[in-house]
Amino acid sequence: MKSNNKYIGINQRVPFDVLDAALYRFIRDKTIEKEPIITHMREFTTGENRLLKAAGYAVQTLSKHKKITTQLGNSFTPEAYLKLPESDRKAICLCLSSLTYPVINDLLITLAAGFKVQPKLNRQFINLKMATIYGSNRSIYNALDAIIPMIIEMDTMERIKTSLYSLSPKSVISHQIIKELIIFTDIKLSGSKSILVDDLQYRPWYMFFDITLNDQKNFTLFKYSESRIGQGYLTINN
């Protein structure tokens, strides 16, 4: 599924509850099973074709970035994962979804730019801005129909009324590896391997998150280095 030669890849909503439960099962069992996802998806999706598509997107979200999901599995016991604040678990699912389907990241960056200058955005604004990236055709509008409810559910913005939205309060992130995942996702999807630490507060992605890195400068998903002029920057290896 491409539009303007950009891959979209998603046109059915994947609820947070489904991703959250599937990630818990992966941490517990170290496997990603499609059948429990399909069963869970029946609570949210009608129509066999739509259901199977949405379940496939959920499987892809958890299986595409094995390094990340494995690291999450190593960082949490099943019991510890369940005790995480919901904001942390939603951030994980949002990052994994964005890494798997970069159209979600493009939408978030578009929203951040819009909310920076005005407190409310309507669907027409979103459609127009995303059409400049993906072209004005049914594929991108179908994708938006799917992913706008997903990102609302993951606390990036709120629906005021039909087709009108406001920015949600920043999600406070507590666990260090999840803070790293948020930063890793931003670096990876920006097309760069490095970003300056001092730039974190200015980048659009962080309009949605309240995060503070530790002072040890020892990280799992990227490394910290000092530049020649004394500024710290973060670099991923892939």
Tens of pLDDT, residue by residue over 201-238, are 899 999 999 988 876 678 999 999 887 666 788 999 76
Within-domain flag for 147 = no
Return the axis-axis angle of helices 102-117 and 123-134, rounded to nearest 10°.
130
Domain membership flag for residue 124: no
Average pLDDT estimate for 12-21? 98
In a domain, 181, yes or no: no
Tens of pLDDT, residues 144-169:
999 999 999 999 999 999 999 999 99
The answer on pLDDT for 4 being more than 80 is: no
- Least Cα distance to 63 among 91, 114, 35, 22 occurs for 22
pLDDT higher than threshold 90 for residue 87: yes
In-domain check, residue 212: no
Domains of the chain: total: 1
Q: State residue 208 phi and psi, 5-degree precision.
A: -100, -10
Residue 197 placed within a domain: no
State which residues form the domain around 57. 2-82
Neighbours of 67 (CB within 10 A): 11
pLDDT per residue as tens digits for the range 99-147: 999 999 999 999 999 999 999 999 999 999 999 999 988 999 999 999 9
Rounded Cα distance, 157 and 170, in Å: 9
Q: Is residue 45 part of a domain?
A: yes
**What distance lies between CA 129 and its chain's CA centroid?**
19
What's the CA gap between 238 and 229, in Å, rounded? 25
Task: Say if 7 falls within a structural domain.
Answer: yes
pLDDT given at position 3? 59
Per DSSP, the three-state class of 103 is helix
**Quick count: other Cβ atoms within 10 Å of Cβ 235?**
14
Q: What is the mean pLDDT of residues 73-82?
A: 96
pLDDT, averaged across the chain? 93
Is 198 or 6 the better-scoring residue by pLDDT? 198
pLDDT at 213 (0 to 100): 81
In a domain, 176, yes or no: no
Closest listed residue to residue 65, CA positions, set 10, 102, 14: 102
